[in-house]
Amino acid sequence: MATSAQTYRRARFGSVLRRLREQRGLTQSAVAAQVGVGVDRINRVESGRVKLEVSLLRGLLDLYGVQDQVRRDAMEDMVVNLAKPDWWANYSLHLALQDYLGLEKDASAAWAWEPLLVHGRLQTRRYAEALLASGEGVIPGGRGRVENMVAVRMHRQEVVTSALTVVLNSAALDTVVGGPDVMREQIAHLLTRPEVDLRILPTGRPHVGLDGAFTRLTFPDGGELACVESLVTTSYFDDPESLSLYGRAAEQLTELALDPSASRAYLEERARAL
């Protein structure tokens, strides 16, 4: 497990390179000698402590036998993106959120379990405003924080285009955020997002998801990550045991949820009942 930090994206990428090296049965010293850098350089790259140049990445991928051009191109893009500020630099955000937004951008797909709230990439402006305003007096920043975070969520929806699957607990629809009009608008918005695999899980039976929300990110470099967000930070799990556990949890929740067609009918009925 690791907690979010400014360099976590770099550390995750480094761990992917480390696994590729280990799969080839190579030591850091052997790799350093073959690509013409010091062993300390390889160590720092794999631990995420230094930036990685595209030229060095290409040499490492050649050495590790990575021939899939799509994968290579994606990894080169990640290295370039790691070295420059991105869209969230225009907003005042804490480092943990900046880190998550970067990881989300790097990912090729996201699977999310949402037991109590509509997923951030699916929220309407009015829903997001009402939801974030509920934290005033608890979370520092006042109205300025609310306006800033709403802007971030709307911008995020414009720029993040990776595949998204959401299993949404029906309890999230029972919490009337912002009043009936806002919720009707929110549900109508969910019904206009055919590119999202959205499944509703009706309440009524215990399941592993009662333990809390989580997201699984899949990356084009072959990596995976399970993310658990709290009020103060986001925790990331990338060890095989944790990834297997969260994978089984995702499978259980998907199996228990309604299929997309039945989920759509559930949403339509819920909107009529408001």
Q: Nearest to residue 57, comparing CAs of 38, 43, 78, 39?
A: 78
Q: What's the pLDDT band for 5 if we cut at 50, 70, 90?
A: very low
Give ranges for CATH 3.30.870 in the chain: 94-273
Q: What's the pLDDT band for 50 if we cut at 50, 70, 90?
A: confident
Q: Nearest to residue 187, comparing CAs of 113, 118, 128?
A: 118
Tens of pLDDT, residue by residue over 61-98, are 999 999 999 999 999 999 998 888 889 988 988 888 88
Report the CATH superfamily, name and number, of domain 2-82: lambda repressor-like DNA-binding domains (1.10.260.40)
Give the span between the Cα atoms of 160 and 43, in whole angstroms: 32
Give ranges for CATH 1.10.260.40 in the chain: 2-82
Q: What is the pTM of this model?
A: 0.89
Q: What's the pLDDT band for 4 if we cut at 50, 70, 90?
A: very low
Q: What's the pLDDT band for 2 if we cut at 50, 70, 90?
A: low
Under CATH, which number does the domain 94-273 receive?
A: 3.30.870
Q: What residue ranges in the chain does DSSP mark as E strands? A: 2-3, 109-114, 163-169, 197-201, 214-218, 224-229, 234-237
Give the span between the Cα atoms of 125 and 37, in whole angstroms: 50
